[in-house]
């Protein structure tokens, strides 16, 4: 049964969404006639093959064959489901999402998520109370005091302590009615080797609750008090906890990020806590993993720029370069905060104080400067081979600012001066880095890349696409087309799927041009429909091209029927069924006569 409220919601979001405006917020486009063209954000290309047709509400790439409506574009560019894309757009437009009828599986999943969140909240309070209200927490208090973490920050982040006992949490929770199965799913306990026993995952560690961007506890991080290993221990991956998609502190930092215009990204939660304690609240941390495209997508919702502040040792610098490669091309300005003395932000603040760290933030280097200095430190530029290597290492970054002529000119001069080469050499190298001269879009590194597909094209395929385009523009033409070539006679299975859907809609008395067609067709059919709509046919030639295309399909259909009946006649004759063979031959001859008309 269809949910009319949900249909109305989707229609409302669709009617208020401007495809051209949405696409242009990600992709530079140039107008050519009634269409807009640009380099595809879903695969690497130098010559634009990505087309947007605003008046028809579709986009299509003639290289990788991605196509669809505004929600399909958002789902691909943001790497989310189609419905998640609708909800994202609704949130931007301020359209409330109606409650919809859920399946039994969804109800069970929601119940499990709710139970896990409840257990995580209980665990956060348990660890925090152990730290702040019992003698068991004394080692944790001593540790935090030694790192300069104030009581106010302990309360702000609800920091805690896991006692050294093997079953302090598991025993207490089971007495409160929490099942072993739920404790195991939460990652708070581990299964014992014998029988049905469990024991605590976190023991003799300070505990840092980890929340999602809405402040809901999804997991925990535990740090040892000495030099034992592992130094940091996180909750294992659960239905709630995926560290590649989480940024520690984002729930507290969102408002400060929006107010300041940028986010400071540090490596670990202790760094984030120290920076926050220093009065700088627009700080988040990745959870012991490299900065990911999911992290970049998350920050783009709140930040207009990103300041990376990783450790200044060699490992930290390498992590910074990897992170920059992820962010470069997301349209977010990137800076790097350089912490001297090989220290991390936490150590630096403890040694030099909050004001000194704020000064480092003000001195943050733009991406180009940081990358340039990094290359110069790691390449022997006094040799010819080193100059070439430095030049090649800088090309991707220089190419990313081709649209800003003033900035590009400044850095070409700077690079030429530092390498003791003529500026024209830099210009020439950059020119060869991007051939041809057509402007190239900065490729977003956080978008899953599609492959360039070379589809086999023949007259029948092109004819079928013309029929689809004509019927889309004039739905009454469907009956005319199917009178000549029935659905089973459409040779291309993808095109047959589209036309079958059109026919089903008309049978049910509804328009096949209503929103959400992407959810009714396969991805291949959705892309083929987008291509049919995106391809241009001069209005004056529309009728002639349609009739020619219909003739091609009808001839192919009749040929297929002729071959079928002829083959069947031969089989029947071989089996001794002369009468049956004669009937099949009569049908074949009639079809052959129809072909000549």
Phi-psi map region of 158: left, alpha, beta (phi>0 left; psi -120 to 50 alpha)? left
Exposed/middle/buried for 265, CB within 10 Å: 0-12, 13-18, 19+? buried
| Co-location of 232 and 110 in the same domain | yes
Q: Is the pLDDT of residue 441 over 50?
A: no
Contacts 24+ apart (CB under 8 A), 374-380: 374/317, 374/321, 376/418
What does the alpha-carbon distance between residue 584 and residue 570 come to, in Å, rounded to a whole number?
9
What's the average model confidence in pLDDT over 150-174?
Answer: 94
Give domain status of residue 517, yes or no.
yes
SS3 at position 428? helix
What does the alpha-carbon distance between residue 549 and residue 471 come to, in Å, rounded to a whole number?
12
What's the average model confidence in pLDDT over 240-250?
Answer: 92
Q: Is the pLDDT of residue 324 over 80?
A: no
Q: Give the pLDDT score at 328.
A: 60
| Co-location of 464 and 590 in the same domain | yes
Q: Which of 251, 290, 250 is nearest to 267 (CA)?
A: 290
| Co-location of 587 and 563 in the same domain | yes
Q: pLDDT grade, residue 440 (50/70/90)?
A: very low
Phi-psi map region of 329: left, alpha, beta (phi>0 left; psi -120 to 50 alpha)? left
The tens digit of pLDDT for each residue in 55-69 reads 888 899 988 888 889
| Co-location of 249 and 310 in the same domain | yes
- Domain count within the chain: 4
| Co-location of 271 and 146 in the same domain | no
Q: Provide the percentage of residues in the chain whose pLDDT is more than 70.
A: 90
The tens digit of pLDDT for each residue in 285-323 reads 988 667 888 888 888 888 888 999 887 666 767 777 777
Return the higher-pLDDT residue of 548 and 5: 548
> CA distances (Å), 177 to each of 118, 174, 191, 195, 196, in order?
12, 5, 18, 20, 16
Q: Give the pLDDT score at 443.
A: 47
Give domain status of residue 323, yes or no.
yes
Give, for 146, the enclosing helix (H) or strand (E): helix 138-146
| Co-location of 86 and 118 in the same domain | no
| Co-location of 108 and 126 in the same domain | yes
Residue 552 belongs to a domain with what CATH number? Answer: 1.10.860
Q: Which of 208, 342, 345 is nearest to 274 (CA)?
A: 345
Q: Is the pLDDT of residue 455 over 70?
A: no
Backbone angles phi, psi at 139, to 5 degrees: -60, -35
> CA distances (Å), 508 to each of 4, 8, 10, 503, in order?
16, 19, 20, 9
Give domain status of residue 418, yes or no.
no
| Co-location of 80 and 123 in the same domain | no
**Do residues 356 and 399 touch, judged by C-beta distance below 8 A?**
no
What does the alpha-carbon distance between residue 112 and residue 131 come to, in Å, rounded to a whole number?
29
**Do residues 261 and 303 touch, judged by C-beta distance below 8 A?**
yes
Give, for 203, the enclosing helix (H) or strand (E): none
Return the top range by mean pLDDT from 225-229, 298-302, 358-362, 543-547.
358-362
Q: Give the pLDDT score at 3.
A: 61
What does the alpha-carbon distance between residue 290 and residue 382 come to, in Å, rounded to a whole number?
33
Lowest mean pLDDT among 296-300, 412-416, 448-452, 469-473: 448-452
Residue-range definition of the domain harbouring residue 356: 245-363
Omega cis (within 30) before 436: yes
Q: Give the pLDDT score at 196.
A: 80
| Co-location of 116 and 53 in the same domain | no
Return the higher-pLDDT residue of 116 and 587: 116
**Chain mean pLDDT for the chain:** 84
Give domain status of residue 435, yes or no.
no
Give domain status of residue 405, yes or no.
no
The tens digit of pLDDT for each residue in 551-562 reads 888 888 888 888
**For helices 459-473 and 493-507, angle between their N-to-C axes, nearest 10 degrees:** 20
Question: Which strands sit side by side in the sheet containing 306-308, from one edge to the other?
Answer: 283-285, 263-266, 306-308, 334-336, 365-366
Q: pLDDT grade, residue 454 (50/70/90)?
A: low
Give domain status of residue 371, yes or no.
no
Give domain status of residue 278, yes or no.
yes
Q: Is the pLDDT of residue 84 over 60?
A: yes
Q: Is the pLDDT of residue 201 over 70?
A: yes
Q: Is the pLDDT of residue 458 over 80?
A: yes
What does the alpha-carbon distance between residue 375 and residue 210 come to, in Å, rounded to a whole number?
36
Q: Give the pLDDT score at 166.
A: 93
Lowest mean pLDDT among 207-211, 260-264, 439-443, 467-471: 439-443
Q: pLDDT grade, residue 34 (50/70/90)?
A: confident
What's the average model confidence in pLDDT over 485-505?
Answer: 89
Q: Which of 174, 131, 130 is nearest to 151 (CA)?
A: 131
| Co-location of 81 and 162 in the same domain | no
Q: pLDDT grade, residue 158 (50/70/90)?
A: very high
Q: Is the pLDDT of residue 325 over 90?
A: no
Mark which of 30, 63, 93 sits at the end of a domain. Answer: 93
Instruction: Kindly tell me the sign of the dihedral angle through the C-alpha atoms of 207, 251, 333, 388.
Output: positive
Q: Give the pLDDT score at 304.
A: 84
Q: Is the pLDDT of residue 332 over 90?
A: no
Q: Give the pLDDT score at 213.
A: 87
Structure tokens at 102: 């859920």
Q: Give the pLDDT score at 330.
A: 58
What does the alpha-carbon distance between residue 145 and residue 137 come to, in Å, rounded to a whole number?
12
Q: Which of 208, 240, 210 is nearest to 222 (CA)?
A: 208
Residue 73 belongs to a domain with what CATH number? Answer: 3.90.580.10
Give domain status of residue 381, yes or no.
no
| Co-location of 29 and 152 in the same domain | no
**Do residues 211 and 217 touch, judged by C-beta distance below 8 A?**
yes
Exposed/middle/buried for 385, CB within 10 Å: 0-12, 13-18, 19+? exposed
Tokens 């280097």, residue located: 365
Give, for 26, the enclosing helix (H) or strand (E): none
What's the average model confidence in pLDDT over 132-143?
Answer: 95
Mark which of 236, 260, 277 sits at the end of a domain. Answer: 236
Mark which of 236, 253, 275 sits at the end of a domain. Answer: 236
Residue 210 belongs to a domain with what CATH number? Answer: 3.90.980.10
Structure tokens at 399: 């190419």
Q: Provide the percentage of residues in the chain whose pLDDT is more than 90.
A: 29
Cβ neighbours of 200 (radius 10 Å): 22
> CA distances (Å), 8 to each of 93, 100, 197, 303, 520, in order?
15, 12, 52, 32, 17
Return the higher-pLDDT residue of 375 and 396: 375
Residue 358 belongs to a domain with what CATH number? Answer: 3.40.1360.10
Q: Which of 397, 555, 575 is nearest to 491 (CA)?
A: 555
Q: Is the pLDDT of residue 436 over 60?
A: no
Q: Give the pLDDT score at 19.
A: 92
| Co-location of 592 and 470 in the same domain | yes
Omega cis (within 30) before 230: yes
Structure tokens at 336: 């790097």
Q: Is the pLDDT of residue 271 over 80?
A: yes
Q: Look up the pTM and report it.
A: 0.59
Q: Is the pLDDT of residue 583 over 90?
A: no
Instruction: Kindly tell me the sign of the dihedral angle through the C-alpha atoms of 39, 45, 46, 47.
Output: negative
Return the higher-pLDDT residue of 279 and 297: 279
């Amino acid at each position: 049964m269809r949910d009319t409220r949900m249909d109305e919601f989707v229609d409302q979001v669709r009617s208020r969404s401007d495809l051209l405006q949405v696409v242009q917020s990600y992709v530079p486009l140039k107008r050519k006639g009634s269409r807009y063209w640009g380099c595809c954000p879903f695969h690497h290309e130098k010559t634009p093959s990505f087309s947007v047709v605003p008046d028809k509400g579709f986009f299509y790439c003639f290289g990788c064959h991605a196509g669809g409506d505004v929600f399909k574009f958002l789902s691909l560019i943001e790497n989310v489901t189609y419905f998640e894309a609708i909800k994202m757009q609704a949130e931007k437009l301020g359209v409330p999402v109606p409650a919809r009828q859920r399946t039994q599986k969804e109800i069970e999943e929601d119940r499990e998520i709710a139970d896990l969140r409840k257990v995580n909240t209980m665990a956060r309070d348990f660890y925090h109370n152990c730290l702040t209200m019992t003698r068991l927490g004394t080692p944790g208090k001593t540790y935090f005091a030694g790192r300069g973490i104030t009581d106010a920050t302990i309360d702000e982040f609800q920091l805690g302590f896991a006692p050294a006992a093997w079953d302090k949490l598991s025993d207490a929770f089971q007495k409160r009615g929490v099942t072993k199965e739920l404790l195991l799913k939460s990652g708070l306990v581990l299964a014992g080797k014998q029988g049905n026993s469990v024991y605590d995952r976190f023991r003799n560690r300070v505990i840092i609750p980890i929340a999602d961007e809405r402040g809901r506890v999804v997991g925990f991080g535990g740090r040892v008090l000495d030099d034992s290993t592992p130094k940091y221990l996180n909750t294992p991956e659960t239905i709630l906890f995926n560290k590649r998609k989480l940024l520690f502190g984002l729930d507290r930092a969102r408002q400060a990020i929006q107010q300041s215009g940028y986010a400071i990204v540090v490596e670990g939660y202790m760094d984030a806590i120290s920076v926050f304690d220093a009065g700088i609240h627009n700080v988040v941390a990745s959870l012991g993993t490299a900065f990911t495209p999911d992290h970049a997508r998350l920050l783009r919702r709140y930040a207009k720029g990103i300041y990376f502040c990783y450790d200044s040792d060699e490992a930290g610098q390498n992590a910074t370069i990897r992170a920059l490669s992820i962010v470069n091309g997301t349209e977010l300005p990137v800076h790097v905060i350089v912490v001297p003395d090989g220290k991390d932000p936490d150590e630096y603040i403890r040694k030099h104080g909050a004001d000194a760290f704020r000064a480092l933030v003000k001195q943050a280097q733009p991406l180009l400067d940081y990358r340039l200095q990094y290359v110069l430190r790691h390449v022997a530029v006094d040799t010819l081979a080193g100059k070439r290597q430095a030049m090649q290492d800088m090309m991707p970054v220089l190419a990313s600012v081709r649209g800003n002529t003033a900035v590009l000119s400044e850095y070409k001069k700077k690079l030429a001066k530092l390498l003791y080469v003529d500026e024209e050499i830099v210009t020439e190298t950059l020119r060869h880095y991007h051939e041809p001269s057509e402007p190239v879009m900065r490729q977003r590194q956080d978008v899953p890349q599609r492959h360039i597909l070379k589809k086999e094209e023949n007259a029948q395929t092109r004819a079928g696409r013309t029929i689809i385009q004509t019927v889309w523009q004039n739905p009454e033409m469907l009956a005319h087309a199917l009178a000549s070539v029935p659905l089973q006679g459409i040779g291309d299975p993808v095109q047959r799927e589209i036309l079958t859907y059109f026919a089903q809609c008309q049978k049910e008395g509804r328009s096949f041009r209503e929103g959400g067609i992407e959810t009714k067709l396969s991805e291949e059919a959705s892309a083929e429909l987008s291509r049919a709509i995106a391809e241009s046919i001069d209005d004056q030639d529309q009728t002639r091209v349609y009739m020619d295309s219909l003739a091609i399909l009808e001839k192919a259909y009749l040929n297929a029927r002729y071959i079928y009946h002829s083959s069947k006649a031969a089989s029947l004759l071989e089996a001794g069924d002369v009468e049956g063979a004669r009937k099949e031959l009569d049908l074949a001859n009639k079809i052959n006569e129809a072909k000549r008309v």
